[in-house]
Amino acid sequence: MEGHTVDEAGAPVEGVSLRLVRAEAGHPGPPVSTARSGADGAFTLEAPEPGPCSLRAGRGPGHHGLLGGALFPAGPPGGPLPGAEVVAQPDEGPAPLFPLRRVELASGGRVTLEFTEQIAGASVEVLVPERNIEVHLFPGDLPLMDRRFRPWWSSPGMLSCPSMASIRLAITGLGLVSTIGNDVVSACASLRAGITRPAPLDFQVASSEDLSVEAVMGHPMVGVTDGFTGLGLYVHLASLALQDLLAYGRLDARDVRFWRDTALFVGTSPVRDEEQEDFQQLLDEHLCAELVRRAGLDIPPENRRRIALGHASVLSAANEAAEAVARGRVRRALVLGVDSLVGEDELLWLASLRRLKTPEHAVGLMPGEAAAAILLESETEARLRQATPAGLLTAVTTGAGESELGSRARIAQQGLHLSRVIEETASRATRIHAVYGDLNGEEARAREWGMALVRLSQMTQYRGAREYWPATCMGDTGAASGAIAMALACRNFIRNPASGDTALIWSRADSGVVASALVSRA
């Protein structure tokens, strides 16, 4: 697309910023092409593929409209540019104090602006719809033209900008199946009451004192998963959690239009040993497809994804879901976590690493199994269909750390990394009333949390926060733990008005991936 920018008198306008914006799901999406007009007002924009677009032009961020209401094709002016759409009123605004600068940051990264002179009464605007951060410094107080622009006020010196935009997604569906409840309401009530139902597993360990053998205790779903193994077990558990979510959210599985605009993220654990690689491939190929088929949901294959990050799967999936919703690829996201640590292969692997809790090893974990699901969508979508949110997801942070739970030096380093990820999330809340974490009985994980507490205790937001550890009642539920914590936080908001307004959730995977999130009262 070639054309010229002119003023009302038809004279060329130089230095106009132009953006070709793709329309996604009926809303303006990210720019697919940008340009700046030359001295003769000429510009060229290239779209990577055909599709509905709108053309924006302006002088500064948030002030993109049609300058003078006229854009003409290349050559002699002969009328308005075909297909152009007026998306804002003309408003040039003040010129920026320094040119546009673009950076791309990984999650947890920071960008710092060093000011070389004092600037009185300046404002900073940061555009973060795609995590490609655009930073502008302007004189005076600029009105925000779009909710995607976030202002940071600066005094002379240094400005730090988080790499991830604040998110705000409504949690409109909850589902949970576990040893202490076959639905999310009863399971969370059991968790609040401290109810637990451990049972002996079909796995024995020998005693070094009298050479006797004793069964390892865990949290199997007796009567629910009996006879299920492998892919069938995962599909069965996930289907039960999904059916509970449909009932809790009063959703119709036959609503084709609703589910075609929905993404599915299924969190599981990664390969625990080399012998399970074939099983992981089986999950990749069939888990999402079988789950959708059994539930009767019309979710397109391109909107389905399995995330194998263990305990951090659900929060990492929530991060990707927030990005997909923000970009307009989907209207909502169904995030589900499912895992079982009570199978023979899993128990052999845990026993080989001395991670099981036994009569002779009291600081190990008790294996469990569960599945939990949450439905995330924008507050606007929730209001349009008159859904009642159980809570709001307002921030997610992820990061990679040490993969081994070994030496004290590694534990200290991982504890420091855990605290940094949590601090990044907690900094976006004025007060944290409750913390839901991944402590599972292992000494290394407790030491990591203790290291993190040394730093977190200095944060004013964290002081006085209540701590909840779902594994004390349900055992280690692996990839389902993040969704369980989010469901429990939402149900506590609903059932206990005095539980505060903000909860922090953190997860730590065996691979070293750490994730944390903020859930607020709706």
Helix (H) and strand (E) counts in the chain: 11, 25
When pLDDT is averaged across residues 55-82 and rounded to a whole number, the result is 41
Edge-first strand order for the sheet with 53-58 is 27-36, 17-24, 53-58, 64-65
Distance between start and end Cα atoms, the chain? 45
Q: Which two tokens stand for residue 305?
A: 């994804």
* Strand ranges for 6-116 from DSSP E: 17-24, 27-36, 42-44, 53-58, 64-65, 71-73, 101-104, 110-114
Q: Give the pTM.
A: 0.69
To which H or E segment does residue 507 belong?
strand 502-508
Distances 450 to 90, 382, 434, 447, 511 between C-alpha atoms, Å: 56, 39, 17, 5, 20
Least confident of 181-195, 296-310, 352-366, 466-480: 352-366
When pLDDT is averaged across residues 43-49 and rounded to a whole number, the result is 78
- For residue 159, how many C-alpha atoms fall within 13 Å in the half-sphere facing its CB? 20
Q: What is the pLDDT of residue 126?
A: 59
Concatenating the DSSP letter of every residue in 168-196 gives -EEEEEEEEEBTTBSSHHHHHHHHHHT--
When pLDDT is averaged across residues 153-181 and rounded to a whole number, the result is 64
Rounded (to 5) percent helix, strand, coil in the chain: 30, 30, 40
- Alpha carbon 42 to chain centroid, angstroms: 42
pLDDT tens column, 138-154: 554 433 333 333 332 22
Which of the four pLDDT bands, split at 50, 70 and 90, describes residue 72? very low
Least confident of 159-173, 452-466, 474-488, 494-508: 159-173
Concatenating the DSSP letter of every residue in 217-276 gives EEB--TTTSTT--HHHHHHHHHHHHHHHHHHHTT--TT-HHHHHTEEEEEEE---SSGGG
Distances 73 to 78, 162, 506 between C-alpha atoms, Å: 7, 41, 54
Q: What is the pLDDT of residue 194?
A: 95
Which of the four pLDDT bands, split at 50, 70 and 90, describes residue 407? low
Residue 103 pLDDT more than 60? no
Q: Which residue has the higher pLDDT, 338 or 96?
A: 338
Q: How many angstroms separate the CA atoms of 358 and 473, rounded? A: 17
pLDDT tens column, 347-405: 999 998 899 998 888 889 999 999 999 999 999 899 999 999 999 999 999 887 655 55
Please, what is the average pLDDT of the chain? 79
Q: What is the pLDDT of residue 220?
A: 96
Q: How many angstroms separate the CA atoms of 435 and 505, rounded? A: 6
Q: Which residue has the higher pLDDT, 337 or 71?
A: 337
**Taking the alpha carbons of 271, 276, 280, 283 in that order, is the dihedral positive or negative?**
negative
Count Cβ neighbours within 10 Å for each residue of 154-166 and write b for 16 or more, e otherwise.
eeeeebebbbbbe
Which of the four pLDDT bands, split at 50, 70 and 90, describes residue 5? confident
Would you call 8 exposed, middle or buried from its count of C-beta atoms within 10 A (0-12, 13-18, 19+)?
exposed
Q: Which residue has the higher pLDDT, 167 or 220?
A: 220
Which of the four pLDDT bands, split at 50, 70 and 90, describes residue 51? low
Q: Which residue has the higher pLDDT, 144 or 197?
A: 197
Would you call 300 exposed, middle or buried from its count of C-beta atoms within 10 A (0-12, 13-18, 19+)?
middle
When pLDDT is averaged across residues 341-346 and rounded to a whole number, the result is 92
Concatenating the DSSP letter of every residue in 322-367 gives HHHHHTTS-SEEEEEEEEE--SHHHHHHHHHTT-B-BTTBTTSB-B
Please give the DSSP secondary-structure letter assigned to residue 6: B
Question: Which amino acid belongs to residue 481?
Answer: S
When pLDDT is averaged across residues 302-323 and rounded to a whole number, the result is 94
Give every CB contact of residue 324 below 8 A, 6+ residues apart in sequence: 263, 330, 333
CB 398 within 8 A of CB 513: yes
When pLDDT is averaged across residues 63-73 and rounded to a whole number, the result is 33
> What are residue 206's phi and psi, to 5 degrees?
-90, 150
Residue among 164, 505, 110 nearest 315 (CA): 505
Least confident of 144-158, 210-224, 300-314: 144-158
Q: What is the pLDDT of residue 331?
A: 93
Q: How many angstroms separate the CA atoms of 323 and 393, rounded? A: 13
